[in-house]
Amino acid sequence: MATSSLPPRSVGRPIRWGGIVLGCLAGLGLAWSLLDRLLVDRRPIVVGILHSETGPMAVSEQSMIDAEVLALEEINAAGGLLGRPVRWEIADGASDWPTFAQETRRLIHDEQASVIFGCWTSASRKSVLPVVEQADHLLVYPMAYEGLETSPQVIYTGAAPNQQITPAVQWCHSTLNARRFFLVGSDYIWPHCVNAIINDQLAGLGAENVGEAYVPFGSTDLDQFVRAIAAAKPDVVLCTVVGDSALAFFKALRAAGIDPHETPVVTFAIAEDELRTVDHADMVGHYAVWNYFQSIDREENRKFVTAFKTRYGDDRVTSDVISAAYNSVKLWANAVRETGNTDVQQVRNALRHQSLNAPEGIIAVDPETQHTWRPVYLAKIQADGQFDIVWSSGVAVRPIPYPITRSRSAWIAFVESLHRQWGGWSNTAAPQPATGGGADE
């Protein structure tokens, strides 16, 4: 009988296919994990936050830091960006323009930040701008400002002049029936440019500039300026005084008996957060114009206010600069997701067509100017430190950085002439007496 040449089958030692399969899968998983670590960048994405934590501007800028950190924390809580956590480096500009420039260099070159969210004053932004442009980097600037500038390296998420300044002047003329205007501001680039824009508009309206004065930056001695206002008897005061000086200004007004019902002030630099820090009885009845107020009745705003208070305390308030700072981070994050990387140039280009259902309404970056479409609101200061909105644009307004009252080249020449005259972006000379009729010309 023929016998089989096959070896006899082992008895009681069955082949464990399940174990083999599991072992193979485990090996594949380990290999994939190792490959994933080699191919996918898991390092934190570094961003820079550059505001004043000290000095006279800290009263306003600290809350911008809080807003940006809140947005970044929300991003990390949702899994980060591109599978990576975001780490932020906070730099103190110290209310000093050279320090802002120095800290920008550190954030870009030493910290390797992929974006910088920063600045409040135009003097700080002007000091930062050449550093950012030389490095071909990215600054997101979340503050209303004078316009008269565009840069490929900057995304402007605050208001251009036609989204804050010119609507306020028109409202004063038509609603308050104001014909006599007094202009008072801190003595640096923003107020001088704003007042030049206002003077052009007043000329077009047939209204009169009855006085114009500039407060040394950081000064809290405002009595002489208030006396000039009282002597000029304006219908309305347009105020671009900032920081600690702004708080002192309203206190001096009240002490001098200047009544907001007879001589209202429209401020472009005081919001809810400044009112929270002082006895704001001095400011009740005056006006402010911004692109956001905490009192806006929108579900998106209620969620934003709740999130901010939950993070920082129920005594905290939101404001335009807080919303703009928060929106800036969200817009940047959307651009990073769209590009799939953190390359500065690619993200910067992607930012040019981002939009957001923000607390104040739909906003969008204008691809031509890299400024942001935002709605405009004008409101009266209330005893509870909030604002009663008395007028709004209703929809987002297209940003126009260069007002049409002069050519672009003429505006650029005007800004350059101030810089040459001062040897910088703020005027450190002795304050000049108030003048009438548009002293900036």
Q: Specify the DSSP element, H or E, that contains 81.
A: none
Is-contact 206 177, C-beta < 8 A?
no
Please indicate, yes or no, if residue 22 is contained in any of the structural domains.
Answer: no
Q: Mind listing the pLDDT tens digit for each residue in 308-357?
A: 999 999 999 999 999 999 999 999 999 999 999 999 999 999 999 999 99
Most confident range, picked from 39-48, 288-297, 421-430:
288-297
Q: Does residue 303 share a domain with residue 252?
A: no
Residue 373 contacts residue 286 (beta carbons within 8 Å): no
- Asked whether residue 273 falls in the same domain as residue 414, the answer is yes
Do the beta carbons of residue 275 and residue 382 sit within 8 Å?
Answer: no
The CATH code of the domain that includes 351 is 3.40.50.2300
CB atoms within 10 A of CB 137: 23
Please tell me whether residues 289 and 322 are part of one structural domain.
no
Angle at CA 300, nearest 5°, toward 295 and 302? Answer: 45
**Are residues 319 and 286 in contact, defined by beta-carbon separation less than 8 angstroms?**
no
Q: What is the pLDDT of residues 165-212, one digit of tens each?
A: 999 999 999 999 999 999 999 999 999 999 999 999 999 999 999 999
Do strands 355-358 and 361-365 pair parallel, antiparallel, or not at all (unpaired)? antiparallel
Same domain, 171 and 250: yes
pTM: 0.87
**Inside any domain, residue 233:** yes
Percent of the chain with pLDDT over 90: 82
Mean pLDDT, rounded, for 271-287: 88
Answer whether residue 66 shows pLDDT above 50.
yes
Residues 388 and 256 both lie in one domain = yes
146 and 224 inside one domain: no
Q: What is the mean pLDDT of the chain?
A: 91
Higher-pLDDT residue of 27, 127: 127
Indicate whether 287 and 407 sit together in one domain. Answer: yes
pLDDT of residue 10: 44
Tell me: pLDDT of 38 over 80: no
Q: pLDDT grade, residue 9 (50/70/90)?
A: very low
Helix (H) or strand (E) holding 296: none
* pLDDT value, residue 411: 98
**Domain presence at residue 92:** yes
pLDDT at 243: 85
Amino acid letter at 222?
L
Categorize the per-residue pLDDT at 18 as very low, low, confident or very high, splitting at 50, 70 and 90.
low
pLDDT confidence band for 282 (50 / 70 / 90): confident
pLDDT of residue 207: 98
Q: Are 284 and 137 members of one domain?
A: no
Q: Quick one: 231 and 144 in the same domain?
A: no
Q: Which domain holds residue 309?
A: 45-159+298-373
With a cut of 60, say whether residue 434 has pLDDT above it.
Answer: no
Q: What is the pLDDT of residues 290-303, one digit of tens each?
A: 999 999 999 999 99
In a domain, 435, yes or no: no
> Do residue 329 and residue 358 come from a single domain?
yes
Is residue 307 situated within a structural domain? yes
pLDDT at res. 256 = 94
Average pLDDT (122-139) is: 97
Question: Domain check: are 84 and 192 in the same one?
Answer: no
Q: Examine residue 61 and state whether it is found in any structural domain, yes or no.
A: yes
Does the pLDDT value for residue 231 go beyond 50? yes
Q: Are residues 263 and 250 in the same domain?
A: yes
pLDDT given for residue 429 in this prediction:
74
Residue 42 has pLDDT above 60, yes or no: yes
Cα separation of 320 and 171, whole Å? 20
> Is residue 282 in some structural domain?
yes
Per-residue pLDDT tens digits for 352-375: 999 999 999 999 999 999 999 999
Number of separate domains in the chain: 2
Question: CA 348, 350, 353, 358 torsion: positive or negative?
Answer: negative
Query: How many other β-carbons are positioned within 10 Å of the β-carbon of residue 417?
Result: 11
Residue 431 maps to a domain: no
Beta carbons of 196 and 417 less than 8 angstroms apart = no
